[in-house]
DNA sequence: CCTACCGATCGGTAGG
DNA sequence: CCTACCGATCGGTAGG
């Protein structure tokens, strides 16, 4: 099973890139954590840049695949935005290290690869933009500001989650998602809507 | 005027650390941009780490000094939160590169210095926490969630601003601040309040 | 602020 | 996957 080694390299690199950043992680750091000698890494991967790119790409892809279906559902915009936020928070919760790399370390990619990541990130942002714009067009959202600002507010909020979310913390993924969605949808000053279509879980 | 050189080194390093990150910026990069030879840097600064620390510290201090007075004013919580967001956005707008370094590159500081920065950052977050908690306690904010989540949502939104804000963009600092504050205070679905105490600028 | 240099470490490779 | 190594670059310094 030759692929097992490559998989271990990806796992280790994801953790180290996330903890220490890409430029501060040496190939020797990775090889040591894997348990082989530095030169031996190159039997499994082509280089440091390619390693980073494949990690970032798989991370961003997870987000695209999780949010796309809910973003494109036929529900009203507020329901879709809430579902998109929940989907995003779920991916964060299940992939914190991968998310840290995908959201911060992609900047260290060289031109061609960085461009590809930027395109994917733009596609992700566009999903949120379409939801917000649709909400404004249909009158579900009554904000008077450009959709762009609301989207950037939401994305900032979401991009910050991996910095503080702990899977072992008091708050569950669902609670975090609901709290964040409420901030965006209702604001701090509006009564939280009585959680449409959701009721205390019955067993 | 011997301090002029040191000031130029700080300016150049702020730009390079912000653009390329701390570990990806070499002392040779800095010396070249300043127009001196690498070894000559050490006549003006003690080292790379100290250079980073002084930049980060001055950046975080700007935020503390700008937000502290409005956070501690006797106004109601919603007014204070709006003013704190506006103050924050103003500092971002006037110090984008410094902000990028202060918000992202501090992680590369060694233990003692990083600890000091974390303390300052916590003090900053606490200002927002006190506003939100006070708003909840006084009934100005009606959210049913823990203040912590609202604060993290706001900080995420604010921390993301330096990534997209352009001083040359269409939106003014004031418009950006108002849009972001409205997202947090009223949410997307509530009518934007008729901008208390603010009216179309008369000349 | 320059000359001249240090030891350490970097990503990566040839050959097995 | 190891042995053995490459040239390049790193942060920093002694002495002027």
Distance from CA of B4 to the nearest CA of A (A): 31
Q: How confident is the model at residue B137 (pLDDT cuts 50, 70, 90)?
A: very high
Q: Quick check: is B179 in a domain?
A: yes
Give the model's confidence band at B201: pLDDT under 50 very low, under 70 low, under 90 confident, else very high. very low
pLDDT of residue A78: 96
State the pLDDT confidence band at B195, using cuts at 50, 70 and 90.
very low
Residues A24 and A100 in one domain: no
Averaged pLDDT, A67-74: 97
User: A202 lies in a domain?
Assistant: no
Q: Which tokens sit at A185?
A: 């949808």
Per-residue pLDDT, A197: 39
Q: What is the pLDDT of residues B90-112, one digit of tens each?
A: 999 999 999 999 999 999 999 99
d(CA A48, CA A150): 37
Q: Are residues A36 and A73 in the same domain?
A: no
One domain, residues B124 and B159? yes
Q: Examine the pLDDT at A191 and tell me if it is beyond 90.
A: no
Residue B78 with chain A: CB contacts under 8 Å: 188-189
A23 touches strand D (CB under 7 A): no
Quick one: pLDDT band at residue A40, thresholds 50, 70, 90?
Answer: very high
When scoring A24, A103, A182, A189 by the number of chain B Cβ atoms within 10 A, the one with the most, hence best to mutate, is A189
**pLDDT score, position B190:** 60
Does residue B195 belong to any structural domain of this protein?
A: no
Q: How many domains does chain B have?
A: 2
pLDDT value for A189: 75
pLDDT value at position B193? 45
The answer as to whether A198 is a domain residue is no
- With an 8 Å Cβ cutoff, are B180 and A149 in contact? yes
Tokens of B148: 């912590």
Mean pLDDT of B131-145: 95
Question: Which chain C nucleotides are covered by protein, judged by CB under 7 A?
Answer: 1-5, 9-16
Of B107, B146, B189, the CB nearest to A186: B189
Residue A185, pLDDT > 70, answer: yes
pTM given for the model? 0.90
Q: Give chain A's mean pLDDT.
A: 92
Q: Are residues A4 and A63 in the same domain?
A: no
- For B120-130, write each residue's pLDDT tens digit: 999 999 999 99
* Partners of residue B183 in chain A, C-beta under 8 Å: 143, 149-150, 153-154, 183-184, 187
- What is the reported pLDDT for A190? 60
Q: How confident is the model at residue B4 (pLDDT cuts 50, 70, 90)?
A: confident
Is residue A74 located within the same domain as residue A148? yes
CB contact under 8 A, B160 and A155: yes
Same structural domain for residues B21 and B112?
no
**Contact indicator for A183, B153 with CB cutoff of 8 Å:** yes
Same domain, B27 and B102: no
Note the pLDDT tens digit of each residue in A120-146. Answer: 999 999 999 999 999 999 999 999 999
Gap between the Cα atoms of A31 and A34, Å rounded: 5
Distance of CA A79 to the CA centre of its chain: 20
At A3, which CATH number? 1.10.10.60
Who wins on pLDDT, A201 or B172? B172
Range of the domain at A94: 56-185
């Amino acid at each position: 099973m030759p692929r097992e080694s490559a998989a271990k390299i990806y796992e280790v690199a994801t953790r180290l890139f996330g903890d220490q950043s890409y430029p501060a992680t040496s190939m020797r750091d990775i090889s040591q954590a894997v348990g082989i000698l530095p030169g031996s890494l190159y039997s499994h991967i082509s280089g440091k840049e390619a390693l980073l790119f494949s990690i970032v790409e798989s991370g961003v892809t997870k987000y695209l695949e999780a949010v796309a279906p809910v973003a494109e559902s036929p529900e009203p915009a507020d329901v879709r935005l809430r579902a998109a936020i929940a989907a995003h928070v779920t991916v964060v919760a299940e992939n914190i290290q991968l998310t840290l790399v995908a959201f911060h370390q992609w900047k260290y990619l060289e031109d061609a690869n960085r461009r590809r990541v930027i395109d994917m990130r733009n596609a992700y942002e566009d999903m949120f933009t379409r939801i917000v714009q649709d909400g404004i067009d249909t009158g579900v959202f009554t904000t008077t500001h450009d959709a762009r600002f609301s989207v950037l507010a939401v994305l900032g909020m979401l991009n910050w989650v991996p910095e503080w979310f702990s899977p072992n913390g008091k708050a569950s993924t669902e609670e975090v998602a609901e709290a964040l969605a409420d901030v965006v949808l209702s604001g701090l000053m509006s009564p939280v809507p009585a959680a449409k279509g959701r009721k205390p879980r019955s067993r």
